[in-house]
Amino acid sequence: MEIENRYGKLINYLTDYIYTVTIQDGEVVDTFHGLGCVSVTGYTSDDYKINPELWYNMVPQKDRAQVLEKARLALAGEETLPLEHRIIHRDGTTRWIRNKIIVTKDADGIPIAYDGLINDITALKKAQAAEAIKNRQLIQADKMASLGILVSGIAHEINNPNNFILLNIQLFSKIWKDVAPILDLYHAENGDFSIAGISYAASKEKIAQSLEGILIGSERIQNITKRLTDYAKTDSGILNESVDINKVVSMAIVITNTLIKKSTTKFSVDYGKDLPRIRGNAQQLEQVVITLINNACQALVRTTEEIHIVTYFDRLRGKVRIKVRDEGIGIKEEDLKYIMDPFFTTKRDMGGTGLGLSVSYNIVKNHGGSLILKSEPNKGTTARLSLPMETETE
């Protein structure tokens, strides 16, 4: 008896608990659940006897069909593979269990009982989920690193011919300034004449404007490629830079400019004056603002809907803040509480991964700040990013 008790305790420890279902004429006539069932399910063996349907009522609707099918096969005397499924504990929490059934038959091969071995695998499932999230984040990080290399390479390739344009247009602008007075004198003495099929009087202003436009356009390309190259640089991860939030927002707008123009005709930004600097990592914060702008653009249904960005200093709380407000579709209340969770997305059909806001939230948190979203369906969303101002000690 002592050895049996010791073995019983050992089995309960290894399997969490055992249950037995007695069968007669293909019907359940009795059930018994081991002592371990209380810790796993919150219910006693007597609870199962009082409520014969408790064993499957505690199973979530999504898992119920496969659990009932497994029980049906066991009643028919068929061996089944172990089944992993969820249960709702008496305290309302969700647990994962692994259920292995062994059927017992009489001399005629008729099933007379089956025993179930239950393992609580909740901790294992959580570890697997955490590992899956980590692996996906690593994959995403690898993609972003590859994208950074690609962006840097493209920016370099664009910069080479653009430098040629920039140098030459500066030369031609100087030439035009020297030539224009001579042409003006010739025009005054000899009357109008043709340049490239257009009269000098009509083309003079256009030539000057064209040269200036080419110079401005080339300088803009140079500025964009420089910012793209800076953005693609490997992030040191160190949060000790003295960061100008207005420059962070400006950089993010340059990166997302094409998407902004495609999404709305009503984009505006108000930069706060004399904002205190914050201590952190400018590249990481740019990533956060880019995510917020991308989300705002994707939320818009019509190009007449507005996106407005404002930066300001909350003196009372010593916080430098960025607000990104859009007039888009908004977020449902039931989704809003999960919006910062890894891989939760309301844009799965648009290719959303659910990583943008999760990564952004962690970046802001590491900077000692906060990221809050307020939204109403069909009325838009406001994202507020708050960061502590840099102190004199820092």
pLDDT of residue 256 exceeding 60, the answer is yes
Q: What is the pLDDT of residue 353?
A: 45
For residue 107, what are its two tokens?
């001399």
In a domain, 16, yes or no: yes
Q: Are residues 240 and 230 in the same domain?
A: no
Task: Quick: pLDDT tens for 140-193.
Answer: 665 666 666 666 677 777 888 888 888 888 898 899 899 989 988 998 889 988
- pLDDT, average across residues 6-23: 67
- pLDDT, average across residues 202-228: 83
Q: Could you give the number of structural domains in the chain?
A: 3
In a domain, 125, yes or no: no
SS3 assignment for 339-358: CCCCCCCCCHHHCCCCCHHH
Task: Quick: pLDDT tens for 102-115.
Answer: 899 988 889 899 88
Domain encompassing residue 334? 236-394
Q: Are residues 390 and 363 in the same domain?
A: yes
Report the range of poorest mean pLDDT among 213-222, 266-275, 306-315, 385-394: 385-394
How much of the chain, in percent, has pLDDT values that exceed 70?
84
Of 119, 125, 122, give the one whose Cα is nearest residue 17.
119
* Residue 218: its H or E element: helix 200-232
For residue 389, what are its two tokens?
């101002």
Q: Are residues 299 and 327 in the same domain?
A: yes
Q: Are residues 210 and 333 in the same domain?
A: no
Answer whether 241's CB lies under 8 Å from 281's CB. Answer: yes
**CATH number of the domain residue 268 falls in:** 3.30.565.10
Q: What is the pLDDT of residue 84?
A: 92
In a domain, 304, yes or no: yes
